[in-house]
Amino acid sequence: MQKLNKRRLGIYLHIPFCRSKCAYCDFYSFVPKDADVCERYVKALVAHMESYKSSCADYAPDTVFIGGGTPTSLPVDLLLEVIRGLKSSFHLAKNVEMTLEANPATITYKDLLRLRRAGVNRLSIGLQSGDNAELKTLSRIHTRRDFEEAFRAARRAKINNINVDVMFGIPGQTQESVMRTLNYVTRLSPEHISFYNLKIEEGTPFWEMRGSLNLPDEDEEYAMYMNAVRFLAYKGYAQYEISNFAKPGYQCMHNIKYWNCDEYLGLGPGAHSFFNGTRFSFCRNAERYMKALEHPEANIRITDSTEEIKTKERLGEYVMLRFRLSEGISVREFYRLFGRDFDAMYGAKLARFIRGGFVERLGDSYRMTPKGMFISNYILSDLLDFSDVDLYDPMS
């Protein structure tokens, strides 16, 4: 029987494969050259999970996120092998939230049914736009129709917790087309919507083309964001994070762990972890990753960086991540965690953002308004001057 006092943990499993690479994407993923690579990778990932069996014996993971890449680009039998490996290596909590990321062109009803029976109870579908011309600009491999078929297949397979990713700031996108997409998506009534801004990342084809992309300007993006926040609230989706909106009871528990600075273990090339007080990540090199797990005797190093998190950094991270959440930062909770007075540390700096309507103080908490969330990077970089933070270790 599962002990009640087991620690909670989030598990992220990275599947680094895609059917083709989107022009804006800088995630670690590639098109596998043959099916053997996928089989080798799944074996390596399962072996990696097994290697954590004893260090995770005291944990009952309550969230699992199988992301990528495109996990559903793997044959379903391989995905089921990943889930079997997961269950044999970890004592999953009884009510575990298990999310699978899916590209609409890569899922069928039959596969979803098998995956749901294996434990997948949340599906995250990357639509990005309901406009086929915008999808083409993004070089997505699916159409709006593919998405709709995938969505309905998921419902038929009785997956009753679905997220849809929607993007704004797409080249050529207008206010009207964003609203048409949101209107279309909300009519299907998913439980959760991620609405996020396209970023032009270095190293991507979009970066090379950045001078010629017809990108909406900042004022247009601001209007898109604010209109979306209002529209989604009207449709019953409460904003709980800068880019995330959910019907009551359907917030993504896995992602909340990141923003709450809770523990999570990420396995696979490029995956990050915060586990046992340490942050680390694995190398963005699938071949090296597979070799290391196929030949443990060769001691091939796959950890990219390992960093023990000191209180000073923890405090800064906490402010940076917690402020992303609509509930913001509780002064009392901050004192309990760090033994510091949040008002004394940040109150003066926050005052001008409160005057501008970007931050509000409600009872014991500071939180960003939607207007503030749009410029959250600016607010946080202004706030987090680490020289202000004296070292204080409540554990010492």
Residues of the shown chain interacting with ligand SF4 in the complex, contacts defined by CB under 6 A:
18, 21-22, 25, 27, 29, 68-70, 103, 126
Task: Decide if 244 contacts 385 (C-beta within 8 A).
Answer: no
> What is the enclosing helix (H) or strand (E) of 117?
helix 109-118
Residue 28 beta carbon to ligand SF4: minimum distance, rounded to whole angstroms: 9
Q: Which is nearer to ligand SF4, 69 or 316 (CB)?
A: 69
Q: What angle do CA 41, 47, 52 make, to 5 degrees?
A: 130
Q: Strand (E) positions, 7-160?
A: 7-15, 59-68, 97-102, 122-128
Residue 56 beta carbon to ligand SF4: minimum distance, rounded to whole angstroms: 27
What value does the CA radius of gyration of the chain take, rounded to a whole number of Å?
21
CA atoms within 13 A on the CB side of 36: 2
Residue 207 beta carbon to ligand SF4: minimum distance, rounded to whole angstroms: 14
Q: Which is nearer to ligand SF4, 206 or 334 (CB)?
A: 206
Residue 31, token pair as written in the block:
């098109």
Closest-approach residue to ligand SF4 (CB):
25
Residue 352, token pair as written in the block:
């001008």
Task: Decide if 281 contacts 270 (C-beta within 8 A).
Answer: yes
Q: Which is nearer to ligand SF4, 72 or 251 (CB)?
A: 72
Residue 206 beta carbon to ligand SF4: minimum distance, rounded to whole angstroms: 11
Q: Which is nearer to ligand SF4, 68 or 316 (CB)?
A: 68
SS3 280: strand
Residue 332 beta carbon to ligand SF4: minimum distance, rounded to whole angstroms: 40
Q: Which is nearer to ligand SF4, 22 or 350 (CB)?
A: 22
**Which long-range CB contacts under 8 A does 146-149 form with residues at least 24 apart?**
146/104, 146/105, 147/104, 148/188, 149/104
User: Tokens 């995330």 sit at which residue?
Assistant: 244
Q: Which is nearer to ligand SF4, 141 or 292 (CB)?
A: 141
Q: Which is nearer to ligand SF4, 103 or 161 (CB)?
A: 103
Task: Decide if 131 contacts 144 (C-beta within 8 A).
Answer: yes
Query: What b/e sequence results for 1-16 when a residue is b if at least 16 CB atoms lie within 10 Å of its CB, and e otherwise?
Result: eeeeebeebbbbbbbb
DSSP for 7-26, please give it.
Answer: EEEEEEEEE-B-SS--TT--
Residue 133 beta carbon to ligand SF4: minimum distance, rounded to whole angstroms: 17
Residue 235 beta carbon to ligand SF4: minimum distance, rounded to whole angstroms: 26
Q: Which is nearer to ligand SF4, 62 or 131 (CB)?
A: 131
Residue 72 beta carbon to ligand SF4: minimum distance, rounded to whole angstroms: 10
Residue 68 beta carbon to ligand SF4: minimum distance, rounded to whole angstroms: 5
Q: Which is nearer to ligand SF4, 206 or 245 (CB)?
A: 206
Q: Which is nearer to ligand SF4, 2 or 20 (CB)?
A: 20
Residue 377 beta carbon to ligand SF4: minimum distance, rounded to whole angstroms: 21
User: Tokens 């995905």 sit at which residue?
Assistant: 79
Give the neighbor-by-neighbor strand order of the sheet with 97-102.
238-241, 244-246, 192-197, 162-168, 122-128, 97-102, 59-68, 7-15, 264-267, 272-275, 278-282, 303-308
Closest by Cα among 309, 322, 326, 319 to 371: 326
